[in-house]
Amino acid sequence: MKKFFIILSGLIIVTLMMPPVPSCAQSDWTKPELVLVPAGSFEMGNNEFARSKPAHKVTITEPFHIGKYEISNQQYADMLTYAMGKGYLNKEALVAKGKNRGYAKGNSKLPQKYQDVTDEHSQITVADGIFKPLPGKEKFPIVEVTWHGAAFFCNMLSEKEGLTPLYNLDDWSCQVYGKTGYRLPTEAEWEYVAKYDDGRKYPWGNDEPCDATANVKRQIADPVEVATTPAGSKSPKGDSKLGVCDMVGNEAEFCNDWYNEDYTVCSSDTDPVGPTQSLFFNVPFFKQFRSAHVLRGGCYLTDPNFRKEYGVPFIIDSVVHPEAFNNSYRCYDIDGFSRQVESFRIVKVTATEKTKSQMSGPQAR
């Protein structure tokens, strides 16, 4: 018995002396907290805003789950570490060369930038294939992420749960309905959650935003400053009726939809997936025409004159419009860009025998 006690004591000591499991090996990114959203109908749009006309009835036929919080730096960094280990990231793209910055990029037939890890605004770093948040920034929303990087995160979540990824990384089409998995919310789903179930002006009600309800109208002393707040900092006063946090302010949120000024074109009033990739903006800086994706909810920074002198693509749409906080207001950003004021939250859809299959179109080459 004495001998057994000595051996047990030794095992306890050895266990205590073992180094803790590094955060990169943890899997908290695979368990985002979700909120159930019942099926139902609502009035989408607002005739007061040119971009949001016409107001019209939309029906969401099946319940779905939406992320309670925007995806955090910790969650996104852990996902990138997982993806790196799987060989899903381009290792060369992470290394800064000359005037180019290093960034996380995919390896598909149509590879895209996912996250601008070496940008001055980024709150995650990478070394030896391990991505980590800056100290103290673990629970802040991920920034400098592209729409493609948000979609890629959703695919990795689906993969980890043994589900079929909903995004085709070779052409960036999406199986919006018809399969079970993770994706970005459609514009209709986002607005439905924000207005649920009384058509409110803001997620918390009809009172104008204030410091107690949303991280908005911040003053930036340093161009490098990212004035976000940790997830849920404005809870419960700023929560939606269903208990979803930070839908307005903090970071503007990517939706799944392509942006078109007439957002009812080529779209149904039942489970709409948005218009096709049909509106292209002239981007002189790159000598290209590019499409755009929908953003909702506004961000921490509001400045109608922000980078006004530089023009597209340096102007940030969700920053220059004071109306961006309204549940009905529609913003956008040029495809492929990452910003210090843009992030995302996820949706999980569960297909049933009654689910009608619907796709969002591929990205133009």
Q: Would you say residue 18 lies in a domain?
A: no
Q: Is the pLDDT of residue 353 over 90?
A: no
Instruction: Give the pLDDT score at 6.
Output: 42
Residue 95: which pLDDT band, with cuts at 50, 70 and 90?
Answer: confident
Q: Would you say residue 28 lies in a domain?
A: yes
Q: Would you say residue 62 lies in a domain?
A: yes
Instruction: Give the pLDDT score at 268.
Output: 84
Instruction: Give the pLDDT score at 8.
Output: 39
Q: Would you say residue 328 lies in a domain?
A: yes
Residue 69: which pLDDT band, with cuts at 50, 70 and 90?
Answer: very high
Q: Is the pLDDT of residue 19 over 50?
A: no
pLDDT in tens, 149-169: 999 999 999 999 999 999 999
Compute the average pLDDT of residues 347-359.
93
- Order of strands across the sheet with 331-334? 331-334, 292-296, 252-258, 342-343
Residue 100: which pLDDT band, with cuts at 50, 70 and 90?
Answer: low
Instruction: Give the pLDDT score at 174.
Output: 97
Query: Which tops the pLDDT comparison, 96 or 65?
Result: 65
Percentage above 70 pLDDT, the chain: 90
Q: How far apart are CA 216 and CA 345, in angstroms?
A: 18
Instruction: Give the pLDDT score at 13.
Output: 38
Q: Is the pLDDT of residue 337 over 80?
A: yes
Q: Is the pLDDT of residue 307 over 90?
A: no
> What's the distance, Cα to Cα, between the start and end of the chain in Å?
73
Number of domains, the chain: 1
**β 56-60/40-44 pair status:** antiparallel
Range of the domain at 278: 23-351
Residue 364: which pLDDT band, with cuts at 50, 70 and 90?
Answer: low
Q: Would you say residue 358 lies in a domain?
A: no
Compute the average pLDDT of residues 184-205.
98
**β 342-343/252-258 pair status:** parallel
Instruction: Give the pLDDT score at 98.
Output: 61
Instruction: Give the pLDDT score at 330.
Output: 97
Q: Is the pLDDT of residue 3 over 80?
A: no
pLDDT in tens, 37-51: 999 999 999 999 999
Instruction: Give the pLDDT score at 23.
Output: 34
Q: Is the pLDDT of residue 126 over 90?
A: yes
Compute the average pLDDT of residues 68-73.
98
Q: How far apart are CA 356 and CA 62, in angstroms?
A: 10
Q: Would you say residue 6 lies in a domain?
A: no
Q: Any idea what the CATH number is for the domain that residue 334 is in?
A: 3.90.1580.10
Q: Is the pLDDT of residue 16 over 60?
A: no
Q: Give strand ranges (E) for the chain.
A: 34-37, 40-44, 56-60, 64-67, 104-105, 113-115, 124-127, 130-133, 174-177, 181-183, 252-258, 281-283, 288-290, 292-296, 331-334, 342-343, 347-349, 358-360
Q: Is the pLDDT of residue 365 over 60?
A: no
Percentage above 90 pLDDT, the chain: 76
Please work out, in degrees rounded to the nearest 5, the angle formed at the alpha carbon of residue 332 by the alpha carbons of 191 and 302. Answer: 90
Q: Would you say residue 115 lies in a domain?
A: yes
Q: Is the pLDDT of residue 218 over 50?
A: yes
Q: Is the pLDDT of residue 221 over 90?
A: no
Q: What share of the chain is helix, strand, coil (3-state, %, to 5)?
A: 20, 20, 60
Report the chain's mean pLDDT, rounded to a whole number.
90
Instruction: Give the pLDDT score at 15.
Output: 36
Q: Would you say residue 1 lies in a domain?
A: no
Residue 213: which pLDDT band, with cuts at 50, 70 and 90?
Answer: very high
